[in-house]
Each structure stands twice: as structure tokens, then as C-alpha cells.
Amino acid sequence: MDDRRLLTVEEETTLLPFLLLRVRDKSRNTVKGLLSRRQVLVDGEVVTRFDAPLAPGQRVELLPKDSAGAAELPFPILYEDTGLIAVDKPAGLLSMGNERERRRTAYRAVSDYVKAREPGRRIFIVHRLDRDTSGVLVFAKDEKLKRALQDNWENVVKKRGYLAAVEGTLPQREGMVRSYLHETATHLVYSGPRGRQAKEAVTRYRMVEENRGYTLAAVEIDTGRKNQIRVHMKDLGCPIAGDRQYGAQTDPMGRLALHADVLVLTDPRTRRALTLRAPLPITFRRLFPGAAL
């Protein structure tokens, strides 16, 4: 594809039939290729599932083949100065490359964006978000600042806030989960007894809104463990919507319903608090139209 295409959904359907109907110059295999190469956005978020549900009014965008490497970022910049850049990473996009995917990553897109404006400048990822989690992601523009943040991360970060759409009703309007996390040989994380290999994890939650069998929860983590929020919501009997790996039965958004909405950190250069916020994605607002955040 050479150009972006923007399409508007007019009736309830799923993604593949919608694309086959609206993009008639492409074969079924070509359209599937667009999905697998992460060239399809729904309301600004990368979607790869062919059966992702669509509702009237949603916007579907088809990206050019090399859009991830374009000088213009395909996602919003939340903050930028001479040393830091924070972006709103969409769900479905890797923070950093791995053995199977090097090009279509947030790191690659931000690196190309910065180099186009400051030739020769390198960027360094400060922390990561899981591929399926959207929200605040921070990069440093020099290695010294990256190290100052990473080497003292637990003290630098004052708040890590998330919004999660979970199935069912939380046991309390506000509460805390504390457990010891273990990981299986297949990389599944679970709560278990205290032990040498276990990592303590603390998650605090607050109900924001309920609607149609789902609860929007504001979540803060005192510890940054792998899949911590996902495991703790499962432990509460309210798995995150779309998280079939950890017990979800439904997928109303066509994605993992977890969004990193706020990160507050102390800027090592000024010793002042820097608050970074990523707005609630449209997919969340469709499920919780009355959410006051």
C-alpha cells in the first residue's frame, strides 16, 4: 500500500469482513497480511485480530508498509524536552524489538522521529510496557539520563497508575492485593507461597465505573513485577477483559483492556516531579462512556 486509508464503520461487524467489503482492490490474503504486519489501526490502536469487534462510528486506518519507520510518529507525543520524550504507545506494538520483530516497535518509531530532527542523536528506552498494554512509555535522549533513571527507578518513580477494564464486580470499591509471584517454565505467572524464587507484588485498586458486566478500575502498583496486574485481577475473580491467558471469558475491545494512564517520576536533572498522562483510549470510553477521570 502506498497511502493511508481512513474508513468509518457504519454497522456492527468484525474486522476482517469489514476490510474485505471496504478494500475491494485487495485480496483476502493481502488483507490478512496487513493485519499480521500491524498496519491496521482501530480508533488509533494497532489491531491484529481478524475477528476484533467493530461498532458504528469507529475509525479504521490502514497504514503504509513502512509507516513504523516514518519520521512522523504514528502515535501521540505526551512530553518532550532536550533529554526526554514520552509517548502514548498503542496496544499491539512492542516497546523494543525481539528476535521475531525489529522494525515495527515503539523504539524504532521514536528513534526515527528523533533522528529526523536531530541527526546523529540516539535514544534509549527507560522502561517497557507489554505489547498488549497501551499508555505512557518513556525514552531518554542520552545514556547518562537513561542510567540516572534506570539505576534508581524504584525511588525515581512516585506513581505508576493504570486503568483496567475487568470482568464482573470487584469485591470492594477500594482494596489491595499482596502476593508472591512465581513463573512457570512456559512463562505463565501465578500467585503462590513465599519462597526463594518468588517475588513479592503489591497492587492497589479503586472502582471507577461499572457498566454491562464490566468494571473500570484505577490501579496503582507498588512493585513492577511481570504480569502483576493481570495476575492480581485474576486472583480477585475479575480478570482483565481480553486477557484469555489469565482467565478472561470476553474480549469487548479486541485487545487487552489495560492502559498505563499516569507515570509520575522525579526528573534527575531538576529534582522536580514530572507527571506524564496518557488519555483513556476510545475503546475504553465506548465501554465506559460516563467515566469521570
Active site residues: 130
User: Which of 109, 102, 12, 26 is CA-nearest to residue 62?
Assistant: 26
Cell of 30: 493481502
CA distance 63 to 67: 6
Residues 6+ apart with CB under 8 A from 44: 59, 61, 75, 90, 281, 282
All three cell numbers of 176: 489491595
Q: What is the grid cell recorded at 75?
A: 502515535
Interatomic CA distance for residues 121 and 129, integer angstroms: 23
Q: Calculate the CA 200 to chain-centre distance.
A: 23
Contacts of residue 29, defined as CB under 8 A and 6 or more positions apart, other chains included, come to none
d(CA 209, CA 187) in angstroms, rounded, equals 32
Q: What angle do CA 128, 185, 49 make, to 5 degrees?
A: 55
CB 199 within 8 A of CB 206: no
Coil/strand/helix, residue 34: helix
Task: Compute the Cα dihedral for 174, 179, 185, 187 and give only its sign.
Answer: positive
Cβ atoms of 158 and 266 closer than 8 Å:
yes
